[in-house]
Structure formats: C-alpha cells, structure tokens
C-alpha cells in the first residue's frame, strides 16, 4: 500500500497550522485512518504532539540536514503501513534557509509530489483573502495549492465573505475554524512546551484540536486531495549502517551488541526517530534512561547518547539526582563513548545556573536572554567517537544558553563566521549543534563501533 500525502502550509508562522495539522492527524485517526505524521524542518516540539495525535512517531523532513535526495525515501519509510501522510510545514510556505527557499514547505511539497492546503489566519481581513490566495497560488507554478482552511474566523457572516473571496480565485474552502482560546498551548522560546512536559494537558490539547477540526473541516475532501507518495525505495537504517560497516577502512564487525543508553523523559525530548533506528541497525542494544527519575545507568551500558531538550526547566531535579550524575561521570571517565547535543551538553557541564550537573566537562552553563538559532555548515575540528576530523555536516543550533568556556582544548565544531564550539575529550563529544542521523549515518555507526570495541576489549 502506498500512502497518500498532503502538506499543511501557511502564509506565515503563527497562522495556526500546528493546531490544524495536529487536529487533522488526530481526527483522521479517530475515524479509522492510519496516519503518518511529519514536520518540515528541524523542529523537535511539534512532532511530539503529532505522535500523540497519530499514534505513530512524528518525523522530520529537512533537506538542509539530510539532503533533498533523502526526503522522499524518508517519507516512504515513515509512512510505511499508513494510508495518509500529513506533513506540517514550517514558517511561511516559501520560507527556507536562504532566499532561494531551500528547505521550505514548498520544496518538500514538490519533492513529495503532494498538494498543499493553506491555513490562513483570517482575523482582520475579508475580500483581501482573494488577493492573498491568488498570490500564493501563482507565485510558483510547481507548487499545487489545492485548497484553503480558514482559521480564527470571527462569525458565520465572516465565514461567508471569506468563502466568496476564495471562490473568486477558484480555490475550495475545506474548512472554517472559529476562534477558540482552549487551543492555546503554553509556549516557550519559539514553540510549544513539549508534549512530554505538558503531560495530560498535552493530550487534552490534542483532543481539543481533533474535535475542532472534525467539526469544522471536511475530512473527506482533504483525504481526496492527497496524492500518492512518489515511487522508489524507502530509506533503510539497515542499508545506511551496512554501507558504513562494509567500507574497507572501518572497524571489524561487532562480536556482540553493545548496550547504548539514550536519555529520555521530560528533560531530553529533542531526538529523531531515525537515531534509535540507526543505533539498532548498527548493532547496538538501546536502553532508555530518564535522568529525572533513574538513579543508575542500565546495567552493562557501553555508551551514552544525551539528546537535546529543556534541562534548564528541570535543573533542580537533575541536580538532585546525584547517583546518576556520578554514574555518567564514571562512564565518561572510563573511556566509553558519550555524545551530547545542546541539552546534553548542558547536562555534561560542571553546573547549570549554579546547580551541579555531571561534571564531565570543565565548563559552566548559564541561561541567557539571547536566542541562538540557525543552520550551520560545520566541520569537525577534532577526531571523536562519532565524527572524523575534517568531516563536514549540516547542523542546526537552537538555544538560549551560554557555556563558559565555549570550547575545550579540542573543540568539536567550527563554521564560517563563528568561533570554535563544543568539546571533544577522551571519548566524549558534546556541543550545541544538532545533527540529523539520517544525514550522517556514519557518525552513528562509528559511535556504536567504538562502544563495541570497548566491550570486546573488556571481555
């Protein structure tokens, strides 16, 4: 079965596409449709809500981080067994990394051959909607704008005027959603509070989105618009890992599966589903550890992955878990590979806003009022467990933190216009840079191989 796909875009951020896309996923699922959820770009927060809505892992489609050639294969992989893929866009429809729109929602729609449904915040406009829709439909003839969902409509009369405006340019209105305060989910930084942190309130928010969309959007019409994903092979973690293992310069095959602990729970939610899949495909046994509650690493841990998240929101609880902090310090000191990204970097520091952390790195972390955000074309400045010195990757920064010093004697990354950043010490690699494992699967395989070699030496 080939899944069909539809892309939910918007003229700009703040139009309500997250509520509409999440509600659409949940509403379709509740009537028996198997939904594969996707998010355009490096966002880690929306996919958590998508996972709640669809009951399947929310996945990201980001050509900047993985390459345009991997987008359709990753979509086919994530949509395996699903009937429809719902892809939530990022920012405005044509907004990408640079002026050419690379990484935009429009580019993803083109790579998937999928139609776009535009979610428009209709506050403060009536017939002007026709001009807006005309502009978005005619701007790029390769993007098929198939319909519009009117959001934050003030009254039935307002909806009628807006429908007439859309009819002037020949675009069907697939739904008209009234303004609803209960759809507001608490925000932090640039996005929502993560679903893992928001707990039962996140479920209630998804329920409210689903109910609103089911009542006011023509689900059948949206489903009919969806087009089959393009044919071809699906991305395979096993194939990606196998390509690395068979290269002649690589380490010998693993003699046993090293156990890799991956931090999870409310403090470490910023990860890609493909990361765990690649760890397993490379030969690891994955065990999840929650630093907010678990006082020990899983028995036999041979390596540790600390993804991003919001550890600063849980700093007191993380600091109070002295047994786990000590265990991580001991693991790192033993030479086991440890990889920390952004929030993971903070947790490995000596302290965060004065609270004790793991003390693996000779650095202190503080929250600041300054947002650091953007893609980075980075080069590895030091040889490490996951990355070869000189290796080039595309990554993304998103944080309000400062680490002093910014880098160790052996820095992790450098990029044009920036100072060296991050730490490489023994088998530890930690930095603010987020990378997508599907864009650099060799880094995951190298990490597992390092852990496996350590296990082999100890046996």
pLDDT of the residue at 197: 52
Q: What is the phi/psi pair of residue 61, to 5°?
A: -125, 105
Question: Domain coordinates of the chain in residue numbers?
Answer: 4-228, 237-458
pTM (predicted TM-score): 0.93
> With b meaning 16 or more CB within 10 Å and e meaning fewer, what string describes 187-210?
eeeebbbbbbbbeeebeebbbbbb
Give the pLDDT confidence of 25-36 residue by residue, as tens digits: 999 999 999 999
Cis ω for the linkage preceding 405 (within 30 of 0): yes
Mean pLDDT of 312-332: 97
Among 190-194, 238-242, 255-259, 376-380, the minimum mean pLDDT is found in: 190-194
Q: Which residues are catalytic?
A: 342
Give the pLDDT confidence of 368-427 residue by residue, as tens digits: 988 888 999 999 999 999 999 999 999 999 989 999 999 999 999 999 988 999 999 989
Using CA atoms, how far apart are residues 272 and 126, in angstroms rounded to an integer?
41
pLDDT of the residue at 343: 95
pLDDT of the residue at 253: 61
Which band of pLDDT confidence, cut at 50, 70 and 90, is reported for residue 251? low
Superfamily of structural domain 4-228: P-loop containing nucleotide triphosphate hydrolases (3.40.50.300)
Mean confidence (pLDDT) of the chain? 92
Q: What distances in angstroms separate CA 178 from CA 146, 296, 383, one per listed residue?
A: 21, 49, 55
Domains 4-228 and 237-458 share a fold: yes
User: Which tokens in the block code for residue 212?
Assistant: 């609103």
Mean pLDDT of 78-97: 97
Give the pLDDT confidence of 177-210 residue by residue, as tens digits: 998 754 554 443 334 455 555 567 778 889 999 9
pLDDT of the residue at 43: 85
Strands 428-431 and 423-425: antiparallel
With 50 as the cut, is the pLDDT of residue 237 above it? Answer: yes
pLDDT of the residue at 194: 57
pLDDT of the residue at 256: 75
Percentage, residues of the chain above pLDDT 70: 93
Q: Across 255-259, 311-315, 319-323, which has the greatest mean pLDDT?
A: 319-323
Whether domain 237-458 has CATH 3.40.50.720: the reply is no
Q: Give the residue from 384, 339, 343 showing the smallest Cα distance to 367.
A: 343
Among 97-111, 144-158, 175-189, 195-209, the minimum mean pLDDT is found in: 175-189
Which band of pLDDT confidence, cut at 50, 70 and 90, is reported for residue 160? very high
Helix count (H) and strand count (E) of the chain?
16, 21
């Amino acid at each position: 079965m080939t899944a069909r796909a539809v892309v939910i875009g918007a003229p700009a951020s703040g139009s309500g596409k997250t509520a509409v896309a999440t509600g659409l996923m949940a509403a379709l699922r509740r009537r028996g449709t198997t939904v594969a959820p996707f998010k355009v770009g490096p966002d880690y927060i929306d996919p958590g809500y998508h996972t709640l809505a669809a009951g399947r892992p929310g996945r990201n489609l980001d050509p900047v981080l993985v390459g345009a050639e991997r987008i359709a294969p990753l979509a086919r992989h994530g949509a395996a067994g699903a009937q429809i893929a719902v892809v939530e866009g990022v920012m405005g429809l044509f907004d990408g990394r640079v002026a050419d729109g690379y990484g935009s929602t429009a580019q993803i729609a083109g790579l998937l051959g999928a139609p776009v449904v535009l979610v428009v915040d209709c506050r403060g406009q009536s017939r002007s909607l026709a001009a807006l829709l005309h502009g978005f439909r005619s701007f790029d003839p390769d993007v098929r704008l198939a319909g519009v969902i009117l959001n934050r409509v003030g009254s039935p009369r307002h909806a009628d005027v807006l429908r007439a405006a859309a009819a002037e340019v020949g675009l069907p209105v697939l739904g008209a959603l009234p303004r609803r305060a209960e759809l507001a989910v608490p925000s932090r930084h640039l996005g929502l509070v993560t679903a893992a942190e928001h707990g039962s309130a996140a479920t209630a928010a998804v329920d409210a989105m689903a109910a609103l969309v089911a009542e006011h959007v023509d689900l059948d019409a949206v489903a009919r618009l969806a087009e089959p994903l393009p044919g071809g092979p699906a991305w395979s973690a096993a194939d990606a890992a196998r390509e690395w293992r068979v290269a002649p310069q690589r380490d010998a095959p693993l003699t046993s599966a090293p156990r890799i602990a991956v931090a999870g729970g409310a403090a470490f939610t910023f990860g890609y589903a493909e990361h765990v899949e690649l760890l397993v495909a490379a030969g690891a046994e994955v065990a999840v550890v929650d630093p907010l509650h678990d006082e020990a690493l899983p028995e036999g841990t041979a390596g540790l992955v600390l993804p991003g998240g919001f550890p600063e929101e849980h700093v007191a609880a993380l600091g109070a878990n002295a047994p786990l902090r000590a265990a991580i310090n001991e693991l790192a000191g033993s030479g086991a590979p440890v990889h920390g990204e952004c929030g993971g970097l903070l947790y490995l520091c000596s302290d965060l806003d004065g609270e004790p952390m793991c003390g693996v790195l000779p650095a202190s972390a503080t929250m600041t009022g300054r947002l650091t955000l953007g893609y980075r074309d980075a080069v590895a400045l030091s040889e490490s467990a996951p990355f070869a010195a000189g290796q080039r990757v595309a990554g993304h920064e998103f944080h309000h933190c400062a680490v002093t010093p910014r880098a160790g004697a052996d820095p992790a990354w450098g990029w044009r216009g920036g100072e060296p950043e991050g730490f490489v010490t023994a088998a530890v690699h930690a930095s603010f840079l987020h990378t997508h494992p599907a864009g650099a699967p060799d880094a995951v395989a190298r990490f597992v191989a390092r852990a496996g070699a350590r296990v082999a030496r100890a046996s």
